[in-house]
């Protein structure tokens, strides 16, 4: 096997949750270019079909990642009818910005369900099939807030810290069964989730000063990390959180 072939995703099928836009869609495009067969996921079937039309040969699988039974049924049906899911990227997530003392309880619950419970639901459903085959790749999307906090997003920070620890737990339970389970922690990227921050000149100026790279990240810059963790190049990498953040977690 040549050095470059280690990074090939040819003939491997990747399910990416929350992939009709933003980071998930960028990862889908990049991994398709590396040879993967892409399965897009979201709750909105219309948005999924539109996104799928932009990635030749891709499929779409609509289900709510917060609904344990729906996830299990959708994954089991897909595996039976379409074939194995070799790679799972748990990307679905949401944000809610409010001072902690005023943070609504229902918003907190939605964050827990969308950002961390979904990783358990989809991860378990897909892993059961991977375990039967003795191989598989799971990548959970964490955040720079896995390691750092900033005002107004304490519950989000809690969920992303939990993603990193659940990733470690997945690796601890499943590495011996042939799975590699890791996480990617993006820094500040120009995405729909961050639209309000991108549009705020004061915040952007602060970010440029705070980040050693001096800028927002572009979503395409996450593709290399995803391809690496999805490929044979990472065959002995397990339980790791890879920060792709322009150096923000390395610098005071």
- Comparing CA positions, the residue from 26, 30, 25 lying closest to residue 44 is 25
**Residue 198 to residue 193: CA distance in whole angstroms:** 10
Given 156, 188, 189, 216, the catalytic residue: 156
Assigned token pair, 201: 């000149």
**Residue 183 to residue 130: CA distance in whole angstroms:** 18
* Residue 158 · residue 119 · CB < 8 Å: no
Active site residue 188: no
**Residue 141 to residue 27: CA distance in whole angstroms:** 11
Reduce the DSSP state of residue 18 to 3 states and report it. Answer: coil
Half-sphere exposure of 223 (CA within 13 A, CB side): 19
List C-alpha distances in Å: 146 to 115, 153, 186. Answer: 12, 12, 9
Residues with active-site annotation: 156
């Amino acid at each position: 096997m040549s050095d470059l072939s280690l990074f090939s995703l040819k003939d491997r099928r990747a399910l990416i949750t929350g992939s009709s836009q933003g980071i998930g869609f960028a990862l889908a495009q990049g991994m398709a270019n590396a040879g993967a067969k892409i399965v897009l996921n979201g709750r909105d079937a219309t948005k999924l079909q539109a996104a799928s039309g932009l990635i030749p040969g891709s499929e779409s699988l609509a289900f709510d990642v917060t609904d344990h039974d729906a996830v299990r049924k959708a994954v089991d049906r897909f595996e039976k009818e379409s074939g194995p899911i070799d790679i799972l990227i748990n990307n679905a997530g949401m944000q809610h910005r409010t001072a902690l003392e005023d943070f609504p309880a229902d918003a907190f619950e939605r964050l827990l369900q969308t950002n961390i419970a979904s990783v358990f639901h989809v991860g378990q459903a897909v892993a059961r099939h991977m375990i039967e085959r003795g191989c598989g790749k799971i990548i959970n999307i964490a955040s720079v807030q896995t390691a750092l906090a900033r005002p107004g997003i304490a519950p989000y920070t809690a969920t992303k810290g939990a993603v990193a620890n659940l990733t470690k737990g997945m690796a601890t339970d499943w590495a011996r069964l042939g799975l590699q389970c890791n996480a990617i922690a993006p820094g500040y990227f120009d995405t729909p989730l961050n639209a309000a921050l991108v549009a705020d000149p004061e915040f952007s100026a602060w970010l440029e000063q705070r980040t050693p790279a001096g800028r927002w990240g572009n979503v395409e810059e996450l593709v290399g990390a995803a391809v690496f963790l999805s490929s044979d190049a990472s065959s002995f990498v397990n339980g790791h959180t890879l920060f792709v953040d322009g150096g923000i977690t390395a610098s005071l």
